[in-house]
Structure 1
Amino acid sequence: MTGRFRKRRATRSSKPASTSTDIQWGDITEPFDDTTIDFGQALRNSTVVGVLHTVGTLLVRSLSGYGLAGIPYRHANKVFYGVLYTLMVPTAVTCVPGFVLVSSLGRIDSYRGLIIPGLFSGFTCLLFRQYFLGFPKELEEAVRVDGLGHWGAYWRVAVPNSLNLLAAIATITRISGWNPFLWPLVIGQDRSAWTVWVALSSYMTNQTVNYHLIFMATAISILPLLLVFLFLQRRLVQGIAQTGIKG
């Protein structure tokens, strides 16, 4: 009994074989060296789409929010309720009609087809409207006394005084414009039009899964988002707080 117990105890205390924990830095360039998938082109496509989508979104959604809050007209509330109703429509419902429309316009495999359909969002329009509702009316009236109209009040007064909100919306839009998979997969049918997440999905097939390429390409892909968030995180909190929406 004693001999068996000592033998079993010795077996339990034996240490596993040591494994190498060195970081393989050579894997960083491997996604770019793959000849079957142009990962560099996918990164460029995602960057272009993300930047243009962010700029276009800030312009379209801030104008719509300012129009709903700062321009009095008869059907303003009806239009606002219509915008709210769009929040109840799932994205998957509009995917097929959107594809048919983009295809009929000949915008498949193009930046316009990837960017323009997603420029409007009811949620961010609501954020801008809530912010501009609390905007000092005296400033707008002073601008109109100087002879400027609604566009002048928007461009000269509203935009310079809402930089925190613009930075917050830009951060949210930059992330949402970088992450989509379904719409770029449908529109980007040619490999040259693939975005980064569509390119990543091609590393998984029915026969093989290239884990090292997936992990390294994913780490490279999230770096732009991490830098944007670290740079604008303070303005993100301030901008959301200024909209008047509380959790």
Structure 2
Amino acid sequence: MSTARGLSRTVRLSARGLLLGLLMTVFLMPFYLMLRNALMDSEALTSPGWTWWPSTMHFENFTSLFNDPALAMGRSLTNSLLIAAITAPVSTLIASAAGYAFARIPVPGRGVLLALVVATLMIPGSVTFVPTFVVVGSMGGVNTLWGIIVPGLFNPFAVLLFRNFYLQLPAEIEEAGRLDGLGWFGLYRRIALPSSGAMLASLGALAFIDSWNSFLWPLVIGQDPSAWTAQIALSTFLTAQTINLPGLFAGAVVTITPLVVMFLVAQRYIVEGIATSGLKG
């Protein structure tokens, strides 16, 4: 009986390992194709025959990204990094403060304000795109980094997640803080904010990824090459006149590397933050 049980357990573990290996292969396949194509030349990339790996690796596809003055990939990467590095922490802190206010501060009309925040999630971005551009343009935000950053600082979804999190925070902890003479801001800064480290890290990482991948708004606001982001620079490889596929894939490898590093560092916090946000079953 023990032999049969051990054999059954071995079969289950083997099947699980096979399934995980298959899923890992499926998820890693796009990264393999992207790196493979980035190391090929145009002729090999567009040839009908299939090769698993280029016989001659063209690392000049990567160096040409930074040697082309018209592309300005270095400056575009710097702009993307600066925008994401500002947007992620600032938008997360704003959402955290707003979520705490909705969860704890008993002000008149709090339910109405919360309903308005929820309503903003139901409004398509295409509806607010033109009015936002008009407002930012009238304030001189075209071709500036702050014009790209400011409209993305308010995240209503993050506000709701923080609200759910702070509703689960034990009220006894705040009562002890009140005995020490803390007001609402002191309670938030001394107790609530330090207790939400996992939420801050997870939503901050997601905000960084979202800001880094943003394309349409930076394309409209950053019309001058000095305000281009990495995604806008990548789009220049696909024009009506030319299509530079090796350069496009090389640029994709370069621009996706910070996101891969970010995800590998923050994946534990992302899972933990979602698990403690009130969305778990």
The normalised TM-score by structure 1 is: 0.90
Compute the RMSD of aligned alpha carbons: 1.6
Number of the residue aligned with 1:87: 121
Number of the residue aligned with 1:72: 106
Deviation at 1:22, TM superposition (A): 3.5
Distance of 1:42 and 1:213 partners within structure 2: 15
Which consecutive unaligned segments of at least 5 residues does structure 1 have?
1-15
Given the alignment, which residue of 127, 130, 135 partners 1:96? 130
Correspondence 1:57 to 2:103: no
Residues 64-87 of structure 1: CA deviation (Å, up to 9, x unaligned): 101000111221111111100000
Number of the residue aligned with 2:260: 226
Distance of 2:60 and 2:106 partners within structure 1: 61
Residues 142-199 of structure 1: CA deviation (Å, up to 9, x unaligned): 1122111111111111111110111110111011110111100111011000001111
Deviation at 1:93, TM superposition (A): 1.3
Q: Does structure 1 conserve the Cα–Cα contact (< 8 Å) formed by 2:92 and 2:158? A: no
Which consecutive unaligned segments of at least 5 residues does structure 2 have?
1-48
Change (3 A) 1:20 1:75: closer
Correspondences of 1:40-189 after superposition (within 5 Å): 40-189=74-223
Query: What SS does structure 2 have at the residue aligned with 1:159?
Result: helix
Change (3 A) 1:244 1:216: same
Deviation at 1:140, TM superposition (A): 1.2
4+ runs deviating over 3 angstroms = 16-20
Amino acid at match of 2:109: H
Distance of 1:160 and 1:193 partners within structure 2: 35
Deviation at 1:17, TM superposition (A): 11
Distance of 1:21 and 1:191 partners within structure 2: 36
Deviation at 1:91, TM superposition (A): 1.1
Q: Does structure 1 conserve the Cα–Cα contact (< 8 Å) formed by 2:102 and 2:114? A: yes
Amino acid at match of 1:133: L
Residues 72-119 of structure 1: CA deviation (Å, up to 9, x unaligned): 122111111110000011111111100100011111111211111111
Amino acid at match of 1:160: P
Deviation at 1:26, TM superposition (A): 2.7
Identity among equivalent positions (%) equals 42
Change (3 A) 1:20 1:100: closer
Higher alpha-carbon Rg: 1
Distance of 1:67 and 1:225 partners within structure 2: 32
Correspondence 1:211 to 2:248: no
Paired residues, what number? Answer: 232
Amino acid at match of 1:31: L
Number of the residue aligned with 1:34: 68
Distance of 2:144 and 2:176 partners within structure 1: 44
Distance of 2:62 and 2:198 partners within structure 1: 35
Distance of 1:131 and 1:22 partners within structure 2: 53
Distance of 2:131 and 2:255 partners within structure 1: 30
Change (3 A) 1:142 1:212: same
Query: What SS does structure 2 have at the residue aligned with 1:100?
Result: helix
Change (3 A) 1:145 1:40: same
Deviation at 1:227, TM superposition (A): 0.3
Correspondences of 1:2-21 after superposition (within 5 Å): 20-21=54-55
Deviation at 1:45, TM superposition (A): 0.2
